[in-house]
Amino acid sequence: MAKSKTQPTILKPVFDPEAALRFAAEGEPAGRPEPCGQEKNPPQKAGKSRAGYTEVTVLIRDELLPRARAEAARKGRTLDELIEKLITKHVGKH
């Protein structure tokens, strides 16, 4: 026997305007939006790295960066960890 086609009841969300206003009042103060391309928390400057690490700037071809990021994401690592692993593998401890 075929099952009758019934639509499930869809309930509308309850909107509490007072809660929305309280949330808006407690949120971040309205100000000028940041221009695109600028990070909210800029990277740390040289000399403020984690203990035992040195900050290095690396220039690589444009087509390699997305591939490196994708590989790091695929392996569940950061780009820093991927580069460190490659250096350790190819340079070794001489």
Question: pLDDT exceeding 70 applies to what percent of the chain?
Answer: 69
Determine phi and psi for 8, rounding to 5 degrees.
-70, 150
- Token readout for 42 is 């800029």
Q: Is this structure's pTM higher than 0.85? A: no
Domain ranges (residues) in the chain: 54-94
The pLDDT assigned to 22 comes to 83
The pLDDT assigned to 9 comes to 80
Higher per-residue confidence, 2 vs 12: 12
The pLDDT assigned to 69 comes to 92
30-67 pLDDT per residue, tens: 555 555 555 555 555 554 567 888 888 989 999 999 99
Q: How many Cα atoms occupy the beta-carbon half-sphere of 90 within 13 Å?
A: 6
Mention every residue, 6+ apart, whose C-beta is less than 8 A from residue 34: 40
The pLDDT assigned to 29 comes to 54
